Structure 1
Amino acid sequence: MKLVGVSGTLAGEKTSSAVGSVLAAARRLDPSIETELIDLRDYEIDFAAGLPLAAYNEDTWNVVQKIVSADFLVFGTPIYQASLTGALKNLFDHLPEHAFRNKVTGMVATGQTEKHFLVLEYHLGSILSYFKGLIPTDNVFILNDSFDLETDEIMDKRILERIRKLAGEMIELQRGIMNRG
């Protein structure tokens, strides 16, 4: 199985660290799982204009193909203005309507205030559902003060345990989907 993580921000390290923590937890739970981190800072994704995918640049095409070919996915976003990032939304605009059918799609988010935790359920979750993704119950919201100021590593052991639970639930659900007859 291949788990792809998408860090949906163009600035900072916290979201990438959070998504990377889910990928690492999944590998610890099952070393046979192949993982890949797509950090949107490393790609130049074209602005979606309603054209066929072939009309966009190579980065856009490659990232979409990596996402579509993954067995399951975890998406991360910082919460800006009570919403996910424009960069992540733009990426979603390039995907086919049923991109996540038969795929588990986990979510992690970082934010400055606990008031933004509902963005996962009511905004990002709605988008993933539109693409037919199966959303686990153990998604993780991480306050910015849970990270080390210098390294951007997650320091809160309760958050790390929630990440481990998310990874475990994602693996279990995806195995169940793949083992259906």
Structure 2
Amino acid sequence: MKTVFLQGSRVGSKTLVSLKKIEEKYLHKYPEHETTFIDLKDLNIEFSDGRNYLDYDGDTGFVTKKIMEADIIIIGSPTFQASIPATLKNIFDLLPQKALDKKTVAMVMTAGSDKHFLVAEIQLKPILGYMKANIVPNYVFVKDTDVINQDIVNDDVLYRMDNLIENTVVLAETYQAVWDKTEEDYGF
């Protein structure tokens, strides 16, 4: 399986810390998977202008192609103004409408307040659903107080990360088996 970890912001550190912890746990459990970590802080991404994703080059082309090749995408997103960051929305805008078809997508959300736990439900899940993703129903929500000195200090968050990883891979493998069986039935 090809897995992309997408850190969806150019500012802050708690989302990066959270997503890096998930990547660490993921690699420990599934070392045979091909993984790519994309941190939008390190890249120069163009604004979407309606071109086909294959027509972008540089960092923008790299990101869009990696997402299109992935079987699993784990998105890390902070909460800004009770919404997802514009940098993450721009990534979605760079892709075709059905870009996430047959891809399993999981999320880790960070916020300064537990009042923002619904941002994933209200902002991110509808976009992912529109783009035809197979969305892992549960996501990990990390508050500012769960991260101290660039380390996650809440054991419950770490436990939920383990569950997210397991649920994501099980869902992706199950969908893949069903799709493979369906292809076999066509007999091509």
Q: Give the TM bin, normalised by the shorter chain.
A: over 0.9
Q: Does 1:115 align with 2:115?
A: yes
Count of aligned pairs between the two proteins = 179
Alignment of 1:17-166 (within 5 A): 17-148=17-148, 150=149, 152-166=150-164
Q: Deviations over 1:74-126 (max 9, x none)?
A: 11111010000000001110011111111110011110010100001111011
TM-score, with length taken from structure 1: 0.94
Q: 1:31 to 1:56 in 2, by over 3 A?
A: closer
What is the match of residue 176 of structure 2? 178
RMSD in angstroms over aligned alpha carbons?
1.3
Quote how far apart the aligned CAs of 1:135 are.
1.1
**8 Å contact 2:52–2:96 — kept in the other structure?**
no
| Structure ID, larger Rg | 2
TM-score, with length taken from structure 2: 0.90
For the residue of structure 2 that corresponds to 1:170, the secondary structure is helix
Distance 1:75 1:22 in 2: 10
More helix by share: 2
Distance 1:96 1:25 in 2: 31
Matched letter for residue 85 of structure 1 = P
Distance 1:72 1:21 in 2: 17
Distance 1:54 1:166 in 2: 31
Runs of 4+ residues over 4 Å off in structure 1:
none
Q: 1:130 to 1:154 in 2, by over 3 A?
A: same
